A and B are shown apart, each in its own frame.
Chain A
Amino acid sequence: MVQSTNRFFCAMLRTKSAYWRAADGMRLFDPESSTACYTCVLTQRPAGPDGLPADVHNCSPDRACFKADH
């Protein structure tokens, strides 16, 4: 698994690996995974409140629903 900081990912984004944390306390995302299934915690579905796909590549700060994970 590629352990990637979640600083750039939406705090509402969920995927199985992100329920685990790295040694620095950050949620574990693996943007290179081809088997990761994503959901938005606000909709509990793979789409955000804005109706666009919720995943590690699409949930970016330019979306109105993006919430920084600090």
Chain B
Amino acid sequence: MARNVTVRLGFEGNISDVRLVIPDDEPTPWQWGEPLAVVGREMARVDGALKATGTAPYTYDVELPGMLYGAILRSPYPHARVRSVDLSAARRLRGVRAAIERGEAVVRFAGQEVAAVAAVSPAIANDALALIKVDYEPLPFVIDMEDAQKPSAPRVFAGRANIGAPAVFEAGNVRDGFERAAAIHQAVYTTPVQTHVSLETHGAVARWEGDQLTVWCSTQGIFTVRDDLAVLFNLPPDKVHVITAFLGGGFGSKFGAGPEVVIAAQLARAAGAPVKLMLPRAAEHVATGNRPNSWQQVKLGAGRDGQLVAIELLERGSGGIGGGAGSAGPYRTLYRCANIRTEERDIYTNAGPSSPMRAPGWPQGCFALELAMDELARKLKLDRLELRRRNNANPVRALEFELGAKVFNWHEKSRAPKALGHRRRGIGVAAAAWHGLGSAGPQAQAIAYRDGRVVIQIGTQDIGTGTRSILAMVAAEELGVPLRQVSAEIGDTRYLFSVPSGGSSTAPSNTPAVRQAAAHLKDKLLRIAAPMLGADPASLEARDGTIRVRGQPSRAVSFADVCRSIPADSLCAQGERPPNYAGFRTDQAGCQFAEVEVDVETGAVAVLNVTAVHDAGRIINPLTARSQVNGGVIMGIGFALFEERRLDPISGVMVNPTMDDYKLAGPLDTPEITALFVEVANGVTNTGVLGLGEAVHVATAAAIACAVYDAIGVPVRSLPITPDKVLAAVGKV
């Protein structure tokens, strides 16, 4: 059954009544201006103390009686035939309990798994790896994307071309568009391979009890790991139990059961004992996935008024032995243009595989498109922000440009002197878009106990963004109780199903299920309270820790007293997350402003401040929302200035697989970050929450690159913007 509701939706200055059809048992979506008691207030994370004191149990911390330690032997060759693997000497080593081989006939990147052992200590496991004899037949390899496209290049996959089929998008006619253009800009932009560097490395602890497999796993998807393992070990899903109490980051690389998880389970079964296998840092860089590199030939055409008349992208990218290296999303989305053509091709190389990474394809595409926009603006003699405004079709982003420019002092900084001795200051702006709407699927359970506690259970996981906190806040809001009375239990496949934490979907997918479960629980509690108040349940509301007659606050009974009347130990209700409603808008706009200082003697770039303006729908907890902005911006600084996988051209081996040599942005590189949210009541779900994790990362590197261009007057079209590139740009080397 469904019902019609009319709700006030929109954003400041653009509010309208929107009619929605929602399930009969679904709470009415929160609307514009709705007064909320818990949601929208800054709340410290409910598990913050556990994390700050180091007592939050991550997979890395799991210790079991009789547990063994696993280690993986990896190929030193980027391409080789594996003629034989001799495990006998490793098996004879004292303390070794199991040794297995992967059984791959050919390895295609340096670092690919070949064999593994489990031993009573990590040291013995590593000693055992040295005793494994592998007879390799090295094969010709190619690691450079340009080389891989040559007809004579070694084939990464026998019998298959290294160049993938083109993915072509066309709207209008770009040739006609360029013919009408008053100004055209064309250039090539490149971005490097960025490796995954989650603070907690990939890994798992696996334990078999008969045919029951329990896995503590560092994963973004407990149910996806469960299902993958069930397939691999031919088990029904209920025979696989996956637990992720806390997760030290994933960024897209930890969805299913990766090799290290499968190997841990294989070793545990072979050894008849639990096995812990957490990857060392070097393996994390080499083998757990990466953001592919890109070569982007960009051509933009505009009229004298700055209106874009044609956008063309020719793109190549390599995800090593994997694909998914496209970056055309921003070209098709960010700006209004009638004539757009994009062509993307994956190039195979003998290097570690790609995997999803925070807004796949978008930071690369945004960097090239936005720096090209700045170069076009210079040809048109237009202010760069004004050029973007003229081509922006999104009313939310129009407000964001206005708000951001004001807070960032765009116009004042535009007029400020750029040179300060050997330092140059510059500013940049870049647009962002995403689609963190979430999806149907999650199911939640809400339980009220006789002592007044409320527990929310749902099989999601916290990727590090404060999921427990926002779920508890939503339930507290719906039940009208203080946050301290509510806790959220997650990270266990024994709870009801939820989707993986990816695609910025955790908050928008799970909060509606939790709100519905809490609403159903509230209905049950209202029915208990009704006779206590001599009122009809339909006339009651739950607010301020009481259940009371609507409009008569004095006719109330405390939530705790109602719970004491539960005719059992507890009262529970379930909720599920319906599909998205049409709502007000289903897109997600953002923009970021950056100011940099460039030392033209050393080439060093320092980011001074970033103003990030984003639409996150309904903000549940501004504190954790700001934390997500901070994280996205800091990661974007790393992409802009530091991060790059380097492969040795002779051996094909990664030469910087450490956090010393693969530089991330650290505290000294972190600028002042101002997070601004344009709250949009979107009505897409009952909470209206949008995911933030990826949206806040898309534009950072682009804004920084534009700021560097503004500072030195020369575009650096290749990320990372390292000192040598800056010095070359200003003619110092």
Check A45/B259 contact, CB under 8 A, given A19-B221, A37-B354, A53-B157: yes
B231/A43 in contact, CB under 8 A: no
Q: Name the residue of chain B whose CB is nearest to the CB of A1.
A: B435
Indicate if B237 sits at the interface (CB-CB under 8 A).
Answer: no
- Rounded to whole angstroms, the CA-CA distance of A53 and B224 in the bound complex is 22
**Chain A residues in 8 Å Cβ range of B326:** 33-35
**Is A37 a contact of B579 with CB atoms below 8 Å?**
no
CB contacts (< 8 Å) of A59 on chain B: these are none
Complexed CA–CA distance, A68 and B323 (Å): 23
Asked if A47 contacts B321 (CB within 8 A), the reply is: yes
Interface contact B256-A39, CB-CB below 8 Å = yes
Q: Does A41 contact B (CB under 8 A)?
A: yes
Determine the chain A residues whose CB is within 8 A of the CB of B329 once the complex forms.
Answer: 35
- What A residues does B324 contact at CB under 8 A? 33-38
Assembly CA distance A53 to B255 (angstroms): 20
Interface readout for B430-447 with A: 1 if CB under 8 Å, 0 if not? Answer: 000000000111000000
| B residues in contact with A21, CB < 8 Å | 441
Given A20-B439, A37-B355, does the pair A51, B321 have CB atoms closer than 8 Å?
Answer: no
Q: Tell me if B542 is interfacial: C-beta within 8 Å of chain A.
A: no
**Is B582 positioned at the interface, with any CB of A under 8 Å from its CB?**
no
Find residues 336-376 in chain B having any chain A CB closer than 8 Å to their own CB.
Answer: 344, 346, 348, 353-356, 360-361
Contacting residue for A20 out of B106, B319, B499, CB 8 A: B499
Q: State the Cβ distance, A18 to closest chain B Cβ, in Å.
A: 9
CA gap between A23 and B578 in the complex, in Å: 10
Distance in angstroms between the alpha carbons of A35 and B160 in the assembled complex: 20
Tally inter-chain residue pairs, CB-CB below 8 A. Answer: 102
B345 to A, closest residue via Cβ = A34
Contact of A37 among B158, B231, B323, B503 (CB under 8 A): B323
**Which residues of B (145-159) have their CB < 8 Å from a CB of A?**
157-159
Hey, which chain A residues are within 8 Å of B657, CB to CB? Answer: none
B439 touches A14 (CB 8 A): no
| A65 close to chain B: CB less than 8 A | no
Across the interface, A51 reaches (CB within 8 A) one of B157, B259, B322, B325, namely B157
Using a Cβ–Cβ cut-off of 8 Å, how many residues does chain A contribute to the interface with B? 29
Flag if A37 contacts B289 (CB, 8 Å): yes
A residues 2-36 with Cβ under 8 Å of B? 11-12, 14, 16-17, 19-21, 23, 32-36
Total B residues in contact with A, Cβ cutoff 8 Å: 51
Bound complex: CA A14 to CA B252 (Å): 14
Instruction: Report the minimal beta-carbon distance from B187 to chain A, rounded to whole angstroms.
Output: 21
- Closest CB-CB distance, A1 to chain B, in whole Å? 9
B353 touches which of A19, A34, A45, A52 (Cβ 8 Å)? A45
Residues of A within 8 Å of B361, CB to CB, are 34-35
Query: How far, in Å, is B476 (CB) from chain A's closest CB?
Result: 28
Q: How far is the CB of A15 from chain B (nearest CB, A)?
A: 8
Residues of B within 8 A of A39 (CB): 256, 322, 353
A70 to B285, CA, bound (A): 37
Complex CA distance for A36 and B325, rounded to whole angstroms:
8
Complex alpha-carbon distance, A51 and B360, angstroms: 26
Query: Is the beta-carbon distance between A46 and B323 smaller than 8 angstroms?
Result: yes
Look across to chain B and name the residue whose beta carbon is closest to the beta carbon of A54. B322
Is B500's CB under 8 angstroms from A47's CB? no
Tell me the complex Cα distance, A14–B228, Å.
9
The distance in angstroms between the C-alpha atoms of A39 and B323, with both chains bound, is 10
Interface positions, chain B 251-273, Cβ under 8 Å from A, are: 252, 255-259, 262
CA distance A55 to B503 in the complex (A): 20
B108 at the interface (CB under 8 A from A): yes
How far, in Å, is B234 (CB) from chain A's closest CB?
12
Q: From residue A22, how far is it (CB to closest CB) to chain B in Å?
A: 9
Report the bound CA distance from A37 to B255 in whole Å. 11
Known: A37-B353, A52-B157. A16 touches B252 (CB 8 A): yes
**B250 CB to nearest chain A CB (Å):** 11
Given A16-B356, A51-B105, A51-B106, also A34-B256 (CB < 8 A)? no
Nearest chain A CB to B346 CB, angstrom units: 8
Given contacts A35-B324, A37-B324, contact A19 B255 (CB under 8 A): yes
Q: Of all chain B residues, which has the CB nearest A57?
A: B165
A27 to B179, CA, bound (A): 44
Tell me, yes or no, whether B93 is within 8 Å of chain A by CB: no
Q: Is the CB of B231 within 8 A of A19?
A: no
Contact of A44 with B257 in the complex, beta carbons under 8 Å: yes
Q: What chain A residues lie within 8 Å of B632 (beta carbons)?
A: none
Given known A46-B321, A46-B323, contact A23–B579 (CB-CB < 8 A): yes
Distance in angstroms from A24 CB to nearest chain B CB is 12
Are B167 and A32 in contact (CB-based, < 8 A)?
Answer: yes
CB distance from A16 to the nearest CB of B (A): 5
Q: How far does the alpha carbon of A17 sit from the alpha carbon of B361 in the complex, in Å?
A: 15
Q: Is residue B232 contacting chain A, with contact meaning CB distance below 8 A?
A: yes
Chain B residue nearest to A58 in the complex (CB): B160
Q: Which residues of A contact B259 (CB under 8 A)?
A: 44-45
The answer to whether A53 and B160 have CB atoms under 8 Å apart is yes
Can you list 9 residue pairs at the A/B interface with Cβ under 8 Å?
A17-B503, A19-B255, A35-B356, A37-B322, A38-B324, A39-B256, A41-B257, A45-B112, A52-B157
Residues of B in contact with A (beta carbons under 8 Å apart): 104-106, 108, 112, 157-160, 165, 167, 221, 224, 228, 231-232, 252, 255-259, 262, 289, 319, 321-329, 344, 346, 348, 353-356, 360-361, 439-441, 499-500, 502-503, 579
Query: Which 4 A-B residue pairs are closest in the complex by CB-CB distance?
Result: A34-B326, A37-B324, A46-B322, A35-B360
Known: A34-B327, A52-B159, A53-B160. 16 other contacts (CB 8 A): A14-B256, A20-B439, A33-B324, A34-B324, A35-B324, A35-B327, A37-B324, A37-B353, A37-B355, A38-B323, A38-B324, A42-B232, A44-B262, A46-B322, A46-B353, A53-B157
